[in-house]
């Protein structure tokens, strides 16, 4: 039996118990992959991150859901970098790179008005969804007529694949009750993907898009409160299908329906350069035994 210290940070908010919780394990260098997954399962958050030494970047981060490892996680990156910086483990560096399974990604820090972390994401990719919109709507607890067909429903990734689903109105989001076990049979092209419904109607008048994020059943969680990687690919989708511009600054809100409001700043350059900016806040530390 081994005891592991876990630091709990909430990302994409500066208010504890808002935004998206992430576990950060700072002494995970000697843990095996299965031990990391077991820690993530015991922690129970959507993701737990393990910063490690890297031979090809300034540091390496591995990300685990309770069910499996994933290539990249935006909110857990925010939490990890915030933890390392505030604990003095990054020194004076404000620009550096992280090694992830989605590639080596640049990170920059800005300390104006609190610590903000900007993360460059992988080049966006899209893939057609050929499944049933009726089944898709049913799996989220809404009607097919709630899906906006003037915009495409399609898979997108800037490191982690999700299905982007345009929704007509904010009212539909309050009715959503996901049945995650149905997702793999509907997502025939990509059965391990998550669902990311969004709309252009928002609670915050300064926001451009509102979203929810329903986890793949393989991850062992139900819903992600504020999602960095999906917000990044939403920015690329916005640039491609809603408003094309050489430079877009977007504010994306998420989490209101589950009482964990948070926001993500997304910068899109020439449609394919995606940067996500957010903050984090320390909540507490605790121990799990594996």
Q: Which residues are catalytic?
A: 47
The answer to whether the Cα torsion of 120, 122, 128, 130 is positive or negative is negative
- Cα Rg, the chain, nearest whole Å: 18
Select from 274, 237, 249, 243 the least CA-distant residue to 153: 237
SS3 274: strand
Select from 95, 64, 61, 91 the least CA-distant residue to 218: 64
How many residues are present in the chain? 290
Cα separation, 157 vs 177, whole angstroms: 24
Helix (H) or strand (E) holding 185: helix 183-186
Our measurement of the distance from residue 102's CA atom to the centroid of its chain's CA atoms, rounded to an integer in Å, reads 13
Select from 104, 85, 35, 89 the least CA-distant residue to 64: 35
CA angle 176, 174, 238 (to 5 degrees): 80
The answer to whether the Cα torsion of 45, 51, 57, 58 is positive or negative is positive
Question: DSSP H helical segments within 31-167, as ranges?
Answer: 33-43, 74-86, 133-140
Number of CB atoms found within 10 A of residue 121's CB: 29
């Amino acid at each position: 039996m081994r005891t592991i210290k876990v630091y709990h940070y909430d990302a994409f908010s500066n208010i504890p118990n808002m935004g998206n919780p992430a576990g950060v394990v700072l002494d995970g260098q000697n843990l095996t992959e299965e031990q990391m997954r077991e820690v993530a399962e015991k922690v129970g958050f959507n993701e737990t991150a393990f910063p490690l030494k890297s031979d090809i970047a300034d540091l390496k981060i591995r990300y685990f859901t309770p069910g499996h490892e994933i290539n990249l996680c935006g909110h857990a990156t925010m939490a990890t970098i915030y933890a390392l910086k505030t604990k003095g483990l990054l020194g004076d560096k404000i620009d550096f790179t992280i090694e992830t399974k989605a590639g080596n990604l640049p990170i920059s820090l800005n300390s104006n008005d609190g610590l903000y972390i900007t993360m460059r994401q992988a080049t966006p990719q899209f893939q057609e969804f050929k499944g049933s919109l009726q089944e898709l709507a049913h799996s989220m607890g809404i009607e097919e007529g709630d899906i906006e067909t003037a915009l495409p429903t399609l898979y997108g990734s800037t490191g982690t694949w999700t299905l982007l689903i345009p929704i007509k109105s904010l009212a539909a989001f309050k009715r959503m009750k996901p049945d995650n076990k149905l997702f793999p049979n509907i997502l025939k092209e990509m059965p391990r993907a998550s669902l990311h419904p969004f709309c252009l109607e928002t609670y915050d008048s300064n926001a451009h898009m509102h979203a929810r994020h329903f986890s793949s059943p393989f991850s062992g969680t139900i819903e992600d409160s504020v999602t960095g990687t999906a917000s990044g690919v939403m920015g690329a989708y916005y640039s491609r299908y809603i408003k094309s511009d050489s430079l877009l600054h977007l504010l994306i809100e998420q989490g209101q329906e589950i009482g964990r409001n948070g926001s993500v700043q997304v910068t899109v350059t020439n449609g394919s350069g995606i940067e996500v900016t957010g903050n984090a806040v320390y909540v507490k530390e605790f121990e799990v035994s594996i």
